[in-house]
Amino acid sequence: MSLTTAARSATEPHEPIRTGLSKDTLVQAFGDNLFYVQGRFREVASPYDLFMAAAFTVRDRMLELWIKSARTYKEKNSRTVAYLSAEFLIGPQLGLNMVKLGITEAAREAGKELDLDLEAILETEEEPGLGNGGLGRLAACYMDSLATLQIPAIGYGIRYEFGIFDQQIIDGWQVEKGDTWLRNGNPWEIHRPKICFPVGFGGHTEQHTDPAGITHTRWIPELVVNGVAYDTPIPGYGVNNVNLLRLWKSEAPESFDFQAFNTGNYYGAVHAKIEAETISKVLYPNDDPEVGKELRLKQQFFFVSCSLRDMIRLELSNTGTLEHFHKKFAIQLNDTHPSLAVAELMRLLVDEHLMNWEQAWDITRHACHFTNHTLLPEALETWPIELFGRLLPRHLEIIYQINQLFLDEVRVKFFEDDDRVRRLSLIDENNGRRVRMAHLAAVGSCAINGVAELHSELLKSTVMRDFHDMYPDRFHNVTNGVTPRRFMVLCNPRLARLITKVCGDNRWIRDLECLSALEPHADDSALHERWRAVKTAAKTDLSNWLGQETGIAPDPSSLFDIQAKRIHEYKRQHLNLLHVLALYEQIKNQGTDGIVPRTFIFGGKAAPGYTMAKLIIKLINAVGEVINHDPAVNGTLRVIFMPDFNVKRGQRLYPAADLSEQISLAGKEASGTGNMKFSMNGALTIGTLDGANVEIREEVGAENFFLFGMTAAEVQRRQAEGYDPYQIYSTNAQVKSLLDLIASGLFSHGDAGLFQPLVENLMYQDPFMVLADFHDYVECQRKVADAYGDPRHWTRMSILNVARIGKFSSDRAIQEYAERIWQVEPEPVSL
Q: Which residues are annotated as catalytic? A: 373, 565-566, 571, 673, 677
Amino acid found at 107: A
Residue nearest to ligand 26Q (CB): 134
The whole-angstrom separation of Cα 93 and Cα 68 is 21
End-to-end CA distance of the chain: 35
Give the separation between CA 723 and CA 403, rounded to whole angstroms.
39
- DSSP codes, 147-210: HHTT--EEEEEE--SB-SPEEEEETTEEEEE---TTTT--TT-EEEEEEEEEEEES-EEEEEE-
By beta-carbon proximity to ligand 26Q, the closer residue of 116 and 138 is 138
Residue 541 to residue 518: CA distance in whole angstroms: 25
What does the alpha-carbon distance between residue 214 and residue 362 come to, in Å, rounded to a whole number?
A: 20
Residue 676 CB, shortest distance to ligand 26Q, in Å, is 9
Q: How far is the CB of 338 from ligand 26Q (least distance, A)?
A: 11
Shortest Cβ distance from residue 694 to ligand 26Q (Å)? 13
Distance of closest approach, residue 793 Cβ to ligand 26Q, in angstroms: 30
Our CB check for ligand 26Q shows the closer of 289 and 594 to be 289
Residue number, 466 or 690, with CB nearest to ligand 26Q: 690
Task: Starting at the earlier edge strand, list the strands of the sheet with 475-477.
Answer: 190-201, 223-235, 242-251, 153-158, 80-84, 329-334, 368-371, 447-450, 475-477
In terms of residues, how long is the chain? 831
**703 and 684 Cβ atoms separated by less than 8 Å:** no
Query: What distance in Å separates the CA atoms of residue 654 and residue 482, rounded to the nearest whole number?
Result: 13
> Of the two residues 95 and 691, which places its CB atom closer to ligand 26Q in the complex?
691
464, 604, 475: which is closest to 134 by C-alpha?
604
Considering the complex, what minimum distance in angstroms separates the CB of residue 646 from ligand 26Q? 14
| DSSP result, 557-577 | TSEEEEEES---GGGTHHHHH
DSSP string, 315-336: HHHHHS-STTHHHHEEEEEESS
* Shortest Cβ 565–ligand 26Q spacing (Å): 9
Cβ distance to ligand 26Q smaller for residue 374 or 795: 374
In terms of CB distance, is 61 or 395 closer to ligand 26Q?
395
Report whether 485 contacts 810 (CB < 8 A). Answer: no
Nearest distance in Å: CB 133, ligand 26Q:
5
For ligand 26Q, the closer of residues 111 and 691 by Cβ is: 691
User: Please, which residue, 134 or 806, has the CB nearer to ligand 26Q?
Assistant: 134
Question: Distance of CA 235 to CAs 62, 127, 187, 711, Å?
Answer: 7, 18, 15, 41
The beta-strand segments (E) located in 589-708 are 598-603, 637-642, 659-662, 684-687, 706-707
Q: How far from 350 is each of 161, 206, 219, 395, 715, CA to CA, in Å?
A: 34, 14, 12, 12, 47
Residue 80, CA distances (Å) to 237, 467, 587 in order:
19, 28, 60
Shortest distance, position 379 Cβ to ligand 26Q, whole Å: 6
Cβ distance 452 to 671 under 8 Å?
yes
Q: Which residues bind ligand 26Q (CB under 6 A)?
A: 132-135, 138, 284, 286, 291, 296, 373-374, 379, 381, 451, 480, 669-673, 691
138 or 276, CB closer to ligand 26Q?
A: 138
Whether 14 contacts 99, CB under 8 Å: no
CB distance 276 to 186 below 8 Å: no
Give 135 or 368: the residue with its C-beta nearer to ligand 26Q.
Answer: 135
Q: Work out how close the CB of 293 gets to ligand 26Q at its nearest, in angstroms, rounded to a whole number.
A: 7
How far apart, in whole angstroms, are the C-alpha atoms of residue 304 and residue 206? 23
Q: Which of 375, 374, 422, 406 is nearest to 470 (CA)?
A: 406
Quick one: which of 460, 443, 292, 474 has its CA closest to 375? 460
Contact at 8 Å (CB) between 373 and 135?
yes
CA–CA distance, 410 with 130 (Å, rounded to integer): 39
Shortest approach of ligand 26Q to residue 128 CB, angstroms?
16
In the bound state with ligand 26Q, the residue whose beta carbon lies nearer, of 52 and 279, is: 279
Alpha-carbon distance of 500 to 504, in angstroms, equals 6
Question: From the centroid of its chain, how far is CA 415?
Answer: 42
Task: Return d(Cα 247, Cα 158) in angstroms, integer.
Answer: 5
Shortest CB 688 distance to ligand 26Q, Å: 13
Contact 761, 612 (CB under 8 A): yes
282 secondary structure, DSSP code = B
706/269 Cα distance (integer angstroms): 62
The answer to whether the beta carbons of residues 60 and 67 sit under 8 Å apart is no
Angle between helix axes 104-113 and 94-101 (nearest 10 degrees) is 120
- Residue 480 or 781 with smaller CB distance to ligand 26Q: 480
Residue with smaller CB distance to ligand 26Q, 246 or 568? 568
Q: How far is the CB of 704 from ligand 26Q (least distance, A)?
A: 22
